Amino acid sequence: MGGHTSNYVPTSRWGKWMDERLPIARMMKNQFIDYPTPRNLNYLWTFGGILTLILVGQIATGVVLAMHYQPSATAAFDSIEQIRRDVNYGWMLRDFHSVGASMFFLAVFIHIFRGMYYGSYKAPREVLWILGVLIMLLMMATAFMGYTLPWGQMSFWGVTVITNLFSALDTIYNGLGTAIVEWLWGGYAVSGVTLNRFFSLHYLLPFILTAVVGLHIWALHIAGQNNPTGLDLKEPSDTVPMHPYATSKDAVGIFAFLLIYAWFVFFVPDYLGHADNYIEANPLVTPPHIVPEWYFLPFYAILRAFTSSFLGIPLGQYAKLCGVIAMFSAVIIIAFAPWLDTSRIRSAKYRPIFKWFFWFFVFTCVALGYLGSKPAEGVYVFAAQIFTVCYFLFFLAVMPIVGLIETPRRMPRSITEAVLGEGGGGLPSGAAAAPEKR
């Protein structure tokens, strides 16, 4: 992995024996103890650790929940209630898991916005970034299928609406969309068969997710971490060893985040969910508003912005198809950021124009989320169309153009200079042990 020399020395006989056969201790020491991390990382860089922890937590709670859950159309809803009421601490497991999905997305959105602000997607971190987008896609698929499992009204109708999106392909090739939808459902309607396969996939995907997270961390340790200045690591004094520096900071970030997580779990577990999901699924009764979970709302707003016309452009029978394409493109386009952004400066700290566009982009995403929760009518549709355009323009216009016309702020020559001021480069730092004694 990372390009620094190893100073792992096995001390026990067993350690030496193992080191010659499977040097896992050497790898751990090199990658997670001695690994050089930029000295100027702020708390936004703790979200990688936070996300890893949530992933592990989701799998742990999920495995136990699966021991009590029954994936069938007749028993699923009641089995969730049984978990809540009769399984020891089942209510806690269940709330940790369902709130955990929301916290996972909260953290991943902050993580992605951080990457965008500090230009973490630029060379040499393109593969790292693409793996990140893949992780988000897998998270979305997993969360979507997981939301089906309680088999409440919103579960059922959410699945019905979202799987039906594929029927838009009928407008390209007659029968193609319908075939795909029926293949997904395992029948001619959403039923217990659909629930069973979603449960199976909901159990499978997190492990694929874990594997991709492994690649993500691998790629991170090849390229090294970005940092708030966006500068490359140039001298040893730019870095500190991961342990105890980055680890102590990560620990603070993780526990502070857990505080928010615990607040939701113990005091407002229903807040991020929807009351209708406490009503058992009923194919004969459609809820008045079908709304996905909050983390899908920006994408849902983009989907619904394509009504029979889009900002005056008539779409006719292709409206649904356009919406579906736009919604998926909204995620996929993030993966192209490394090539859409023409600026060679990474950090928005030194990009006076981009910085403003970045914050407007954050506002755009929040606005789309708000609009996704509103009924698709009147002024909401118009606003959603405007913000959909803003969303895509950020990638297709702002990123390429601003990079060409912007004059960056004066930048320090190195991280060390950024931290210590000019001429302060020579101070010792780096991999010295027992730093607290200095």
The residue ranges that bind other proteins (CB under 8 A) are: 39-44, 78, 81, 84-85, 91-92, 95, 102, 106, 109-110, 113-114, 117, 228, 240, 244-245, 248-249, 251-252, 255-256, 258-259, 262-272, 274-276, 278-279, 288-289, 291, 294-295, 297-298, 362-363, 365-366, 369-370, 372-373, 419-420, 429, 435-436, 438
Q: Which is nearer to other proteins, 269 or 400 (CB)?
A: 269
Residues 6+ apart with CB under 8 A from 325: none
We find the least distance from the C-beta atom of residue 11 to other proteins, in angstroms, to be 24
- Tell me which amino acid residue 374 is: K
* 157 in Cβ contact with 290 (< 8 Å): yes
Q: How far is the CB of 400 from other proteins (least distance, A)?
A: 25
CB of 244 to other proteins, least distance (A): 5
Euclidean distance between CA atoms 261 and 296, whole angstroms: 19
Closer residue to other proteins (CB): 181 or 367: 367
Please, which residue, 198 or 245, has the CB nearer to other proteins? 245
Helices (H) and strands (E) in the chain, counts: 17, 4
DSSP string, 392-425: HHIIIIIHHHHHHH--PPP--SSHHHHHH-TT-T
Pick 177 or 273: Cβ nearer other proteins: 273
**In whole angstroms, how close is the CB of 414 to other proteins at the nearest point?**
13
**Torsion of Cα atoms, 78 then 80 then 84 then 89, to 10°:** 140
DSSP characters over 253-284? HHHHHHHHHHHHHHH-TTTTS-GGGGSB--TT
Name, in order, each residue with C-beta under 8 angstroms of 227's C-beta and a sequence gap of 6 or more.
38, 40, 41, 45, 118, 415
CB nearer other proteins, residue 106 or residue 195 = 106
- Least separation in angstroms between residue 97's CB and other proteins is 15
CA distance 213 to 128: 10
Candidates 117, 123, 128; CA nearest to 44 is 117
Q: How far is the CB of 138 from other proteins (least distance, A)?
A: 20
In angstroms, the CA 192 to CA 260 distance is: 35
> Toward other proteins, which CB reaches closer, 26 or 355?
355
Q: Strand 313-314 and strand 239-241: pairing? A: unpaired
Q: Which is nearer to other proteins, 72 or 373 (CB)?
A: 373
Beta bridge mates, 38: 239
- Closer residue to other proteins (CB): 278 or 318: 278
CB of 247: closest distance to other proteins in angstroms? 9
Calpha distance 62→211 (Å, rounded): 17
Q: Which is nearer to other proteins, 17 or 270 (by Cβ)?
A: 270
| CA dihedral (11, 17, 20, 24) positive or negative | negative
Least distance from C-beta 194 to other proteins, angstroms?
23
Q: Which residues contact 190 (CB under 8 A, 6 or more apart)?
A: 156, 159, 160, 163, 283
Considering the complex, what minimum distance in angstroms separates the CB of residue 157 from other proteins? 13
Q: Which two tokens stand for residue 252?
A: 């603070």
